Amino acid sequence: MWVMVMFDLPVTTREAKRAASAFRKDLLDMGFQMVQYSVYIRFCAAGNNTQTLSKAVGKMVPSAGKVSVLTFTDKQYGRITNYHGGHRGPRNRPPAQLQLL
């Protein structure tokens, strides 16, 4: 399963800018990767981890922020079409499964 966080945070004051930067840093610390400036994504091996992750993100939201958390499957992630400069980009690939013996 994948978790995507999309957000719109105000940056009109010094305090708001700090809160937005702290939110982005916290997402990175939680293992998210930046896709676009306000879009971050993370892979979760187990589906039930997505709910825990979503709740953790919800607790970090600055008071004036708007945040959306989406979850979707590997198959749905693989169907995303990317365009770079008007040209179709490479397909998204799920990460290789880590097997512990």
User: Does residue 95 fall inside a structural domain?
Assistant: no
User: Does residue 25 fall inside a structural domain?
Assistant: yes
User: Does residue 13 fall inside a structural domain?
Assistant: yes
User: Does residue 55 fall inside a structural domain?
Assistant: yes
Q: What is the pLDDT of residues 26-39, one digit of tens each?
A: 999 999 999 989 99
Structural domain of residue 62, as residue ranges? 2-84
Could you tell me the CATH number of the domain that includes residue 48? 3.30.70.240
Per the structure, how many domains does the chain have? 1
Per-residue pLDDT at 98 exceeds 60 = no
User: Does residue 78 fall inside a structural domain?
Assistant: yes
Residues 44/32, Cβ–Cβ less than 8 Å: no
pTM comes to 0.80
Parallel, antiparallel or unpaired: strands 66-72 and 2-8? antiparallel
- The 3-state DSSP class for residue 72 equals strand
Q: What is the pLDDT of residues 15-28, one digit of tens each?
A: 999 999 999 999 99
User: Does residue 39 fall inside a structural domain?
Assistant: yes
User: Does residue 99 fall inside a structural domain?
Assistant: no
User: Does residue 7 fall inside a structural domain?
Assistant: yes
